[in-house]
Chain A
Amino acid sequence: MRQLFRKAVGFHLLIFFLSCFLVLGPICATAADKKKGPVVYVSYGGSYQKVEEKAYLEKFEAKTGVKYLSVSPTDYGKLKAMVKAEQVEWDVVNCGGGVPVLMYDFLEPLDYTVINTEGLPKQYIFERGVAINTYSEVVGWNTEAFKEGPESWADFWDVKKFPGPRAMYNQPGTNLEAALMADGVAPEDVYPLTPDKVERAYKKLDEIKPHVKVWWTSGAQPAQLLADGEVVLATAWNGRLSNIIKEGAPVAFDFNPGFMHFGCGVVPKGTPNKELAMQLLNQIISAESQAEISRLYPYGGVNAKAYDLLDPEVARSLNSHPDNLTTQLIYDEAWWGTPANREPAEERWKEWLLQ
């Protein structure tokens, strides 16, 4: 009996120490390697991130010889946890909508002696973030259902002219503004979103609610739904739509109507590769990288100098081209990014969905 007991204890201790080695070993190893990179870039994955790798990261590696690691998706919860635990693994993070106000305390102030902002409009430069891309939310349609798509938000709401199920973004932002414009509000009068405007928007949204089949949450969803014919109209990011059209799907879109967004690059506080992160950001907003991204994906960049490097054909197709900009509404990232505005709006949105 005693023999058996000793064997059992010995066995357990062995397992325990083995697992310690297996767990601690890699942690120590990665801690040592951190000083030489690789630099970790985080974005939203899919076709867009592949294009970002080509335009930003490969060029960065070619210039500096530092390897990169491309990770997805951007997750503010993870970022906060990393910074609090002082175990930051991300170096540059692509944040979808404006500078995330919530994350302010967890971000490094940017080093503008390294980051050259020549060519960027002032509104794109912030203390703890810099705009790195622009993207638009537009209306895509299935070409097997309609030859011509909607030319206004009122058209999107018109179920007689455009019958069939729709897909819309599952958040109040852009949907409230679209509802107001469908109800006849002029684009320049949409902001600020006062409570009475919000009520008016929800009344208008009630009309379209029974026709919305899917409330999408990830960028790839609406493009796929349109391609499958699951829905006939959808709001979606123009880049994802262009991509699926290139793959031969029966989908089309234009920039009328649309919303103009910009995304920011930020650096998490306490990252061991701070200098490399700043250098990477500098590469990202350079005219060279911004032009390259526009060649590969129809997102206009943030750097006006990039237009000098672009083919006029390509420039014309970009969401940020002046011709295309006239029919789009510039989304108020600052208002929607403030938690005091966003949280009650989201709660109201969920209650509306549940009705």
Chain B
Amino acid sequence: MATIAGERTGDLPVWMRITGCETRQDLKTLLLLVPAGVFLAVFFIYPLTRLFIMGLFDPDFTLQHYLKMFTHPLYLRVLWITLKVAATVTIVCLALGYPLAALLSMVREKVSSRLFFMILIPYWTSILIRAYCWTVILQRKGLVNTFLANIGVIDKPLHLMFNTTGVIIGTVHVFLPLMIMPLYSVMSKVNVNLLRASAGMGAGPVKTFLRVYFPLTLPGVAGGSLLVFILSLGLYITPALMGGRRDILMSIMIEQQVREFLNWGFASALSFTLLFVTLLLYFAAVKWLGLNLLWGGKR
């Protein structure tokens, strides 16, 4: 096994073998990660661990919080609603974002940079302000309804606000850029010659798309979808402001437990349930959708 300094693998010290370093180069790369690792350990892993412990020790070991989460019909119902809303948002974002990302990857730099600008500006605006702006647009006497009524398309106002429709619209608006970015990064690397080769061999545009283009963009689809889904699971402001009585999501329950009831053990159980769902989906995406290709992993 050739290494830079000429050492044989068997001569490497134990700790180098454990961390998977094979060469001095690997070791140096690993050391560069230490500051980030320490930061994550102190400000992420440690608080997360303490929060997890809060859910299991209250103060003595107890499974009551997790039991309540999984046996009380209200919380299971809320979890189901949360998963449904997140899935809907993801699908809508995919439907809207895929063509847009493909367009971005195919136009000239000048055009694409302007389009990027238009996508990112709303992303940089505060979520709270956007929710209130949507209220003005979607409410009973808002922009959309007044316009449609004036041109005679409708005679009763559409219910676009304070219900699940409103939540979906608001949340898609928030997360669409996050769907577009991973898709774009994968699409821009697709070798156009492959598409030409497919056409050259007699495949029509639909077949080329289904058999060549789409499979190549799958890691981007997986990455964007996973990102949007996970973030939608936890979004609080948009559902709270734009939702109706049936739009009670996990984030709203967690907020109430933390702020009003000070029942932090139960809030921890609710939060970690969401985290476990997220981790399950993540590993599924890596295994079946090749998610790790997105950052240069190997199949």
B-side binding surface: helix, strand, loop or mixed? Answer: helix
**CB pair B262 A103 closer than 8 Å:** yes
Chain A residues with CB under 8 Å of B244's CB are 213-215
Within 8 A of A (CB), among B16-31: 25, 28, 31
Q: Is B214 part of the binding interface, using a Cβ–Cβ cutoff of 8 Å?
A: no
CA separation between A106 and B259, bound complex, in Å? 14
Q: Is A21 part of the binding interface, using a Cβ–Cβ cutoff of 8 Å?
A: no
CA separation between A214 and B77, bound complex, in Å? 21
- With contacts A77-B262, A80-B262 taken as known, whether A228 is within 8 angstroms of B246 at the C-beta atoms is no
The residue of chain B having its C-beta at the shortest distance from the C-beta of A73 within the complex is B259
Q: Is B204 part of the binding interface, using a Cβ–Cβ cutoff of 8 Å?
A: no
Residues 117-151 of chain A: 1 if any B CB is under 8 Å from the residue's CB, otherwise 0?
Answer: 00000000000000000000000000000000000
Chain B residues with CB under 8 Å of A213's CB are 140, 162, 244
Residues 338-350 of chain A: 1 if any B CB is under 8 Å from the residue's CB, otherwise 0?
Answer: 0100110011001
Q: Is B35 part of the binding interface, using a Cβ–Cβ cutoff of 8 Å?
A: yes
- With contacts A217-B240, A343-B261, A354-B248 taken as known, whether A9 is within 8 angstroms of B141 at the C-beta atoms is no
Return the contact of B74 from the options A15, A77, A103, A347 (Cβ within 8 A): A347
Chain B residues with CB under 8 Å of A8's CB are 32
**CB pair A230 B35 closer than 8 Å:** no
Least CB distance from B60 to A in Å reads 18
Q: Is A51 part of the binding interface, using a Cβ–Cβ cutoff of 8 Å?
A: no
- With contacts A9-B32, A229-B141 taken as known, whether A353 is within 8 angstroms of B245 at the C-beta atoms is yes
Q: Is B188 part of the binding interface, using a Cβ–Cβ cutoff of 8 Å?
A: no
Least CB distance from A7 to B in Å reads 11
Return the contact of A5 from the options B28, B72, B162, B260 (Cβ within 8 A): B28
Q: Is A102 part of the binding interface, using a Cβ–Cβ cutoff of 8 Å?
A: yes
Chain A residues with CB under 8 Å of B72's CB are 347
Return the contact of A165 from the options B140, B256, B260, B263 (Cβ within 8 A): B140
Q: Is B158 part of the binding interface, using a Cβ–Cβ cutoff of 8 Å?
A: no
Least CB distance from B276 to A in Å reads 23
CA separation between A212 and B245, bound complex, in Å? 9
CA separation between A167 and B256, bound complex, in Å? 20
Q: Is A311 part of the binding interface, using a Cβ–Cβ cutoff of 8 Å?
A: no
**CB pair B139 A102 closer than 8 Å:** no
**CB pair B162 A214 closer than 8 Å:** yes
Within 8 A of A (CB), among B111-165: 139-141, 162
CA separation between A16 and B113, bound complex, in Å? 34
The residue of chain A having its C-beta at the shortest distance from the C-beta of B132 within the complex is A224
Q: Is A351 part of the binding interface, using a Cβ–Cβ cutoff of 8 Å?
A: yes
Least CB distance from B77 to A in Å reads 6
Chain B residues with CB under 8 Å of A77's CB are 258-260, 262
- The 7 A-B residue pairs with the shortest CB-CB distance in the complex, in nearest-first order: A77-B259, A353-B245, A77-B258, A12-B35, A5-B28, A214-B162, A102-B262
A to B CB contacts below 8 Å, 12 in the list:
A1-B25, A5-B28, A15-B35, A78-B259, A80-B264, A213-B162, A215-B244, A229-B140, A230-B140, A346-B261, A350-B248, A350-B253
A residues engaging B (CB < 8 A)? 1, 5, 8-9, 12-13, 15-16, 75-78, 80, 102-103, 165, 170, 209, 212-215, 217, 228-230, 339, 342-343, 346-347, 350-351, 353-354
